[in-house]
Structures are given as C-alpha cells and as structure tokens.
C-alpha cells in the first residue's frame, strides 16, 4: 500500500522535481482562504482550492458574477439565457443541483433553506475582491449544502479617501445598464470607518427563447436594479464591525404570451442584511456573524396545450425568510498548531400560495427548517513539510409546521379537494468529519490526500410544495431525509520553471440517500407528468481535474483546465420497478467533460481577455433518453483607457454565435455584444 502511495505521489510530481524556485506565482500561495474557517494559507490546505482575484474578474468577459466561475475546473454554471436567465445554476464535480454547492458571502452562508440555492443577481461584480473555491464535500465546516464544494465571495475594502466610479453600457437586444459606486474610507492608523454604496440598473428587450414556429413565444425581457451598501467601523486593528445591505429587484419575461398584455413574467424582491463583529483577545480571534434574508417572489404564468383547447393562467407567490448566527474562535497555540471551534444557528421559513384563475384551484403551502451546528477544527504543521488538518461537526436539523391547504382543486393540480395537511415534524442528526494531510515536497511542489463528508437536509420546497413546474406537476415529499456524501481525494500542485502552475486532483465521491428528482407519472395525452424528489439510494462519482496557469510574460497569462466527472446511480432503495430502472443511469443536468482555455494581456492603456469554454454532453432526463449536445463558446473583453480615468470596454460573449439548446428546450441568446464607457474618480 505504501509503495502504491509513493508511486502515485511520484507520478503526480515527477515533472516538478526539476523545477526552479519561483517568485512570480508565489504570491497566490500566501493568500489566506477564509472559507477554510481557520484562515488557512492557500498552499497549506489539504483540498483542491481555486482563487479568482479582482484583477481577473475585471478583465474577464463576464456580464454576471457566475460567468467567471465557469472558468474553474469542475464548476458548471448553467446560465443558458445569459443576462436574461431567471437565475444561474452552479454545480460542482458532477453533482447536479445548486443546493449541493455552499455559497458564502464574506464568509456567511447564503444558501436558502427553501430552494437550497442562492440568487446570483444579488452580487455586484464591481464590489467583489476575490472568490475562493474549495472543492469537495466540506460539511465539517459549515454544515448543510457543502456537498460538492464551497464558493466564498469576498467584497473589497475601498481605498483611502473619496472615490466615485460610474459606467454606462449599451448591448445587444436593446440592453441598457448603469453602474455607480461611491466610497469613502476614513480609516487612519487602524481606526475609523468606511462606507461604500453600489447602485446597479439594467433593462433589456430580451430575445425569443422559443422557435419561430411557436405562436405563443415572447421576448425574455429584463428589468433589474440592485443596491449594495457596506459600512465598516474599525475600533483598532483587532476590533471591527462590518454591516452590509443588499437589495435586488427584477422583473423578467418568461418567454410565453397568449392573452396577457405582456405574457408570463417573474418578479423578485430580495433584501439581505449581514453583520460581522471581529475581535482579538489574547491572540484568540473571535468572530460573530449574523444574516437576515427576505425574499418575495411572484410568478405569473399562462400556458396553452398543443391542441390549443386547454388554457391555463395562474400566479405563484412565495415569501421566504432565512436568518442565521455564526460564532467561532480561532486560537493559535504557536506557529504550528491552531484550533477553531464554534456554533452556528440557521433558520428558514417558506410561505407559498398558488392561485389558478382558469380553474378554482387554490393552494397554500409552507414550512420551517431549523439547524444548530457545533464544530471544531485543528491544523497542525510539523517538520515544515507536513500539515495535518482535522475537523468535525455535529448538526441537528428540524423540520416543523409544514402544511399544505388546498381548496377548489381539480385535475389541474392533482391534489384532493379541501386538503388540510399538517406534515409530521422531523428531526435529523448529522455528523460530518474531515481529515486531510498536505505534504510540501519543496517550495514548488505539494501533494495532499483527504477524506471528507457532506451533509444536507432536504429543501423546504421539496418537502412542502406541490405545485406546477415547467415540465409538469411537482408533488411534495414531507418524508424526505438528509443526504450524505463521503469524498476521497488525492491532489497535487506544482510550479514549473517559475512560470507554470499545474494542479491535479483525483476524487471519488459516494452519495447516500441521494435526493433526486424523478418521474412519478410520465406525461400522457390526457395527463401531465408528475415529479417528486426522493431519496433514491447511492450515487458514485469518479472525477479528475487538471488546471494550468502559465505566466508567459509579465502581463500575459494563459489559463487552461479540464474536468471529467462520471456520476452514476449504483443503488436504488425503492422496490418499485419504475425506480429500479435508474440503477446504472448517470445523473442528469451535469456534463461529463468540461474544458476552459483563456489568454489575458494587460498593459497600462489596454487589456484583453479571450476565453473559450467547452461543455460536454449531458443527460436532460433521469432515464438518460434525452441527451443535450456538447457546445463550445468563445468570449472576449477588451478594455482601453481613453483619457485620465475614462475607459472604454467592449464585451462579446458567444463570439461565433453558437446556438445551443438548454435542458428545457430553450434557445440561448447567441452572440451578445456590449459597449461600456466607464469613469473612475
């Protein structure tokens, strides 16, 4: 076994033994990864870690923050309608479902208990300092949702004094956008305050997502606005309070218009408050964080069947509340050993109403989830070469006061009339350990091995919501159980010739009680399809990732990565033949192969980024009968400094106008061109 382990290490590192000491790529290694919760250094973490810095973000051809995540090996972002997408779905390492990626905002978990994911539109790209990505199961740190990885979005602190930044852009589909940032930083000698305000507005006519033959098609219009205000007061270098408020509202078309004046649409209104208090007492770093997120969502939908004789008009209203408190303390005993421990409390509430106008159906649904987590973490360095990291977490999660009330129901909703269901409360315990070892062979070469676990309770929406979805009708499953994942990983990192950084990772994950959306009743000529999320059994995912970053010249970088993941359902808990047929099938909505290549150049006056993405084939359905075609896109961004503080930006996404189809059969917008003028004061 020892020989095998040595062979693997040699195999992973043999190229790098001849490498020279490096200085240019070393700066990245010193970055502190706060998503580690123990403030580990990038190069000391026994995990696959990626960091996107603000320079990369500014140069990259993105129109939403999630675009940039697509450039990370193993991360798949589904934003098939571009800026006109209702939201982006971000998944990692072959796991489908955005609820399996934990997203942090300044180290605070944002995933909502309702749908498990986050609203990516809440973030303004201009305010982001860096994005940390830790791949693999990581529930030992933050508990739920960290099944396939963690993404931590960190906002930047303004520079000293008063600054003003404004930009205006005009883009394809008659899209107009305005961004303003005002900041004032009065922190002197580690004492003082700063305040930053970001304002954002974007409006566009949109494009047709349906084919020309569809007489009900309408443009996916867009109207969105956002505000972000950040205030920090620093008492001294070891004591500060940070307050953050994000507001976002949007109004978007759903692409179908039959009789309603503007057709179907979505409206969303989000308010997010976060607060962080940090203090150091006797070298113990104490952090107390709080978050409150309120979301109001309305969906107005009209539909007509293929024969044109069955018309439906209905509204969905959802109100969600998520709040949490996190507290932890990091105690370093010496340069080599530190511990971290703490407790988290999270709670989520959903109230939803579905009102049908073309029938008498009326449904009210809702429920609550509550989570309490206790964790401890330790990091130990020895011989200047070995870093041991161990952590564990205990989670107690409760589902309570779940309900479904229905009246006037017809065959439209498949719910018995006058239903008054009060779902049984549930309690679950989760124990999530992680252990990892990193071996720093020399300054440029390192390797790690880790075993980690993931735990995530069901989403509220899956437990209590019986409602219409795009492809049919979804039935609530109040008996869903949490899902658990174990992840084994072996990885390495090398810096060659002072210019090339190579990261490899080989991983195997096994999901148990895997939550999967499956067909309960297929669509027939007379009945709509019925779906439900169930704990289906076991899923195995084997994967490999390689990432390369080549610093060709001082300001010229080449990036490339490739990821392969093979997620297969290996065991079905259900005894029904319909469910058993899933054994051997691959998970849907996750590509098997992904690749990215990009080149960036920056001078004092001019910068350019050329990026290309390959998304491999993926299954659109759980029975693996409908395959989505692979596609390749190229994006570019050019920035030119016209005069003092004035910049001209040209963004082209999907340069070759590749028209691909998404999982719902919708067309992508094709080529998107945006011209922007920016002034920085």
Partner 1 sequence: MKKNLYLLLVVVALLCTFSCKEEKILVNPHLTLSEETGYVFSDTAIASGVSFKIKVICNSNNGSNLTNLEVKQNNTIILNYGLNAPSLEKEVTLTKTSNEIDTIDIIIRNYDGLSATKSLRITKTSSPYNDIIIVDNITIGAQNNTTIGSFLDVETGIVYTQDSAFNHQSLIDILYYYNSTDLNCFSSAGGNIAGIFTGPTSPENWTTKNTTYFSRNPINITNDEFVNCQNDSLIIAHIFSDGGRKAKSLKANQFWAFQTQSGKYGILKINAVSDENSGTINISYKIQK
* String of contacts with partner 1 for each residue 357-396, x by CB under 8 A: xxxx------------------------------------
Complex with partner 1: residue 411 or 470, whichever CB lies closer: 411
Asked if 412 interacts with partner 1 (CB under 8 A), we say: yes
User: Which of 168, 195, 227, 258 is close enough to bind partner 1 by CB under 8 A?
Assistant: 258
Residue 657's CB: how many other CB atoms inside 10 A?
A: 11
Complex with partner 1: residue 185 or 413, whichever CB lies closer: 413
Q: Which stretch binds partner 1 (CB under 8 A): 114-122, 284-292, 364-372, 406-414?
A: 406-414
Asked if 311 interacts with partner 1 (CB under 8 A), we say: yes
Complex with partner 1: residue 242 or 313, whichever CB lies closer: 313
> What are the structure tokens assigned to 252, written together?
């978007």
User: Which of 228, 302, 395, 622 is close enough to bind partner 1 by CB under 8 A?
Assistant: 302
Asked if 165 interacts with partner 1 (CB under 8 A), we say: no
Asked if 259 interacts with partner 1 (CB under 8 A), we say: yes
Alpha-carbon span 518 to 535, nearest angstrom: 10
User: Which of 24, 310, 627, 664 is close enough to bind partner 1 by CB under 8 A?
Assistant: 310
Residue 336's CB: how many other CB atoms inside 10 A?
A: 13
Complex with partner 1: residue 426 or 528, whichever CB lies closer: 528
Asked if 664 interacts with partner 1 (CB under 8 A), we say: no
Alpha-carbon span 640 to 638, nearest angstrom: 7
Q: Which stretch binds partner 1 (CB under 8 A): 81-89, 254-262, 326-334, 382-390?
A: 254-262
| 459, 487 contact by CB (below 8 A) | no
Strands 149-155 and 101-105: parallel
Q: Which stretch binds partner 1 (CB under 8 A): 32-40, 353-361, 444-452, 550-558?
A: 353-361
Name residue 200's beta-bridge partners.
179, 226
* String of contacts with partner 1 for each residue 541-560, x by CB under 8 A: --------------------
State in angstroms the smallest separation of the CB of 356 from partner 1: 8
- Exposed/middle/buried for residue 577 (C-beta within 10 Å: 0-12, 13-18, 19+): exposed
Alpha-carbon span 61 to 599, nearest angstrom: 11
Alpha-carbon span 437 to 217, nearest angstrom: 55
Reported as type and span, the H/E element at residue 626 is: none
Complex with partner 1: residue 311 or 681, whichever CB lies closer: 311
> What are the structure tokens assigned to 551, written together?
């610093």
User: Which of 298, 312, 407, 443 is close enough to bind partner 1 by CB under 8 A?
Assistant: 312
Q: Which stretch binds partner 1 (CB under 8 A): 118-126, 192-200, 409-417, 597-605?
A: 409-417
Q: What values do phi and psi take at 478, rounded to 5?
A: -70, -5
Stretch 567-586 residues interacting with partner 1 (CB under 8 A): none
State in angstroms the smallest separation of the CB of 205 from partner 1: 24
- 13 three-class SS: helix
State in angstroms the smallest separation of the CB of 466 from partner 1: 19
The candidate with the shortest Cα–Cα distance to 103, out of 116, 86, 84, is 116
**Residues with Cβ within 8 Å of residue 281, at least 6 apart in sequence:** none
The candidate with the shortest Cα–Cα distance to 321, out of 383, 276, 382, 370, is 370
Reported as type and span, the H/E element at residue 154 is: strand 149-155
Complex with partner 1: residue 446 or 528, whichever CB lies closer: 528
Asked if 316 interacts with partner 1 (CB under 8 A), we say: no
State in angstroms the smallest separation of the CB of 415 from partner 1: 14
Reading phi first (left if > 0) and then psi (alpha if -120 to 50, else beta), residue 190 is in left
Complex with partner 1: residue 161 or 522, whichever CB lies closer: 522
Complex with partner 1: residue 215 or 358, whichever CB lies closer: 358
Find the radius of gyration of the CA atoms of the chain: 25
* String of contacts with partner 1 for each residue 3-42, x by CB under 8 A: ----------------------------------------
| 387, 376 contact by CB (below 8 A) | no
Cα 643 to its chain centre, rounded Å, is 37
For residue 64, what are the CA distances in angstroms to 57, 69, 363, 437, 492? 10, 10, 35, 36, 31
| 588, 96 contact by CB (below 8 A) | yes
Complex with partner 1: residue 129 or 260, whichever CB lies closer: 260
Alpha-carbon span 30 to 533, nearest angstrom: 43
Complex with partner 1: residue 360 or 427, whichever CB lies closer: 360
Alpha-carbon span 323 to 116, nearest angstrom: 14
Q: Which stretch binds partner 1 (CB under 8 A): 39-47, 65-73, 318-326, 408-416?
A: 408-416
State in angstroms the smallest separation of the CB of 357 from partner 1: 4
> What are the structure tokens assigned to 172, written together?
């394809």
Complex with partner 1: residue 15 or 310, whichever CB lies closer: 310
User: Which of 16, 110, 222, 313 is close enough to bind partner 1 by CB under 8 A?
Assistant: 313
Number of residues that bind partner 1 (CB under 8 A): 15
Binding site for partner 1 (CB under 8 A): 258-260, 302, 310-313, 357-360, 410-412
């Amino acid at each position: 076994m020892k020989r095998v382990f040595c062979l693997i290490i040699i195999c992973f590192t043999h190229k790098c033994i001849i490498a020279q000491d490096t200085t240019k790529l070393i700066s990245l290694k010193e970055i502190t990864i706060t998503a580690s919760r123990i403030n580990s250094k990038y190069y000391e973490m026994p995990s696959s870690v990626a960091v996107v810095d603000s320079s990369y973000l500014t140069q990259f051809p993105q129109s939403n923050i999630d675009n940039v995540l697509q450039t990370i090996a193993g991360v798949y972002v589904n934003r098939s309608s571009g800026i006109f997408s209702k939201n982006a779905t971000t998944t990692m390492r072959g796991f489908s479902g955005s609820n399996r990626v934990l997203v942090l905002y300044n180290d605070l978990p944002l995933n909502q208990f309702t749908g498990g994911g986050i609203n990516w539109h809440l973030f303004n790209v201009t305010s982001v300092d860096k994005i940390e990505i830790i791949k693999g199961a990581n529930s030992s740190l933050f508990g739920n949702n960290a099944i396939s990885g963690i993404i931590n979005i960190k906002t930047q602190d303004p520079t000293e004094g008063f600054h003003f930044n404004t930009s205006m852009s005009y883009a394809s589909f008659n899209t107009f956008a305005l961004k303003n940032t005002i900041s004032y930083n009065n922190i002197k000698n580690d004492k003082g305050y700063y305040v930053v305000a970001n304002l954002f507005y974007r409006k566009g006519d949109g494009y047709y997502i349906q084919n020309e033959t569809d007489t009900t098609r309408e443009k996916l219009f867009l109207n969105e606005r956002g505000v972000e205000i950040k205030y920090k007061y620093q008492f001294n270098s070891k004591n500060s309070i940070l307050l953050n408020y994000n507001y976002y509202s949007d109004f978007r078309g759903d692409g179908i218009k039959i009789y309603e004046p503007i057709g179907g649409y979505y409206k969303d209104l989000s308010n997010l408050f976060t607060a962080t208090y940090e203090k150091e007492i006797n070298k113990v770093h104490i952090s107390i964080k709080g978050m409150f997120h309120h979301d109001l969502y309305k969906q107005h939908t009209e539909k007509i069947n293929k024969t044109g004789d069955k018309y439906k008009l209905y509204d969905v209203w959802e109100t969600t509340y998520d709040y949490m408190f996190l507290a932890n303390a990091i105690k370093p005993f010496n340069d080599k050993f530190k511990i971290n421990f703490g407790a988290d409390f999270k709670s989520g509430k959903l109230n939803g109403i579905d009102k049908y106008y073309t029938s008498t159906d009326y449904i009210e649904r809702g429920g609550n989830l509550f989570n309490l987590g206790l964790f401890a973490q330790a990091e130990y360095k020895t011989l200047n070469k070995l870093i041991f990291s161990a952590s564990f977490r205990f989670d107690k999660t409760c589902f309570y006061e779940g309900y479904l009330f229905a009246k006037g129901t017809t065959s439209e909703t498949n719910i018995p009339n006058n239903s008054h269901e009060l779902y049984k409360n549930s309690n679950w315990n989760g124990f999530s350990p992680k252990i990892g070892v990193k071996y720093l062979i020399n300054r440029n070469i390192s390797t790690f091995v880790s075993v980690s676990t993931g735990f995530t309770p069901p989403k509220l929406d899956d437990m209590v919501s019986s409602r219409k979805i795009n492809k049919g009708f979804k039935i609530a499953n109040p008996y869903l159980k949490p899902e658990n994942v174990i992840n084994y990983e072996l990885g390495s990192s090398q810096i060659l010739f002072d210019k090339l950084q190579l990261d490899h990772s080989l991983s195997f994950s096994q999901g148990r009680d895997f939550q999967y959306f499956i067909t309960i009743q297929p669509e027939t000529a007379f009945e709509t399809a019925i779906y439900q999320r169930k704990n289906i059994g076991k899923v195995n995912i084997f994967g490999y990732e390689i990432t390369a970053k080549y610093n060709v010249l001082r300001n010229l970088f080449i990036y490339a990565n490739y990821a392969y993941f093979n997620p297969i359902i290996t065991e079905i808990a259900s005894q029904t033949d319909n469910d058993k047929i899933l054994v051997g099938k691959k998970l849907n909505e996750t590509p098997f192969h992904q690749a990215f290549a990009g080149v960036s150049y920056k001078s004092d006056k001019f910068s350019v980024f050329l990026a290309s993405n390959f998304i491999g084939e993926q299954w659109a359905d759980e029975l693996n009968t409908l395959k989505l075609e692979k596609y390749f896109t190229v994006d570019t961004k050019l920035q030119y400094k016209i005069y003092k503080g004035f910049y001209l930006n040209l963004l082209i996404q999907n340069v070759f106008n590749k028209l691909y189809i998404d999982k719902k059969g919708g067309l992508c917008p094709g080529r998107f061109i945006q011209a922007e003028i920016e002034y920085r004061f």
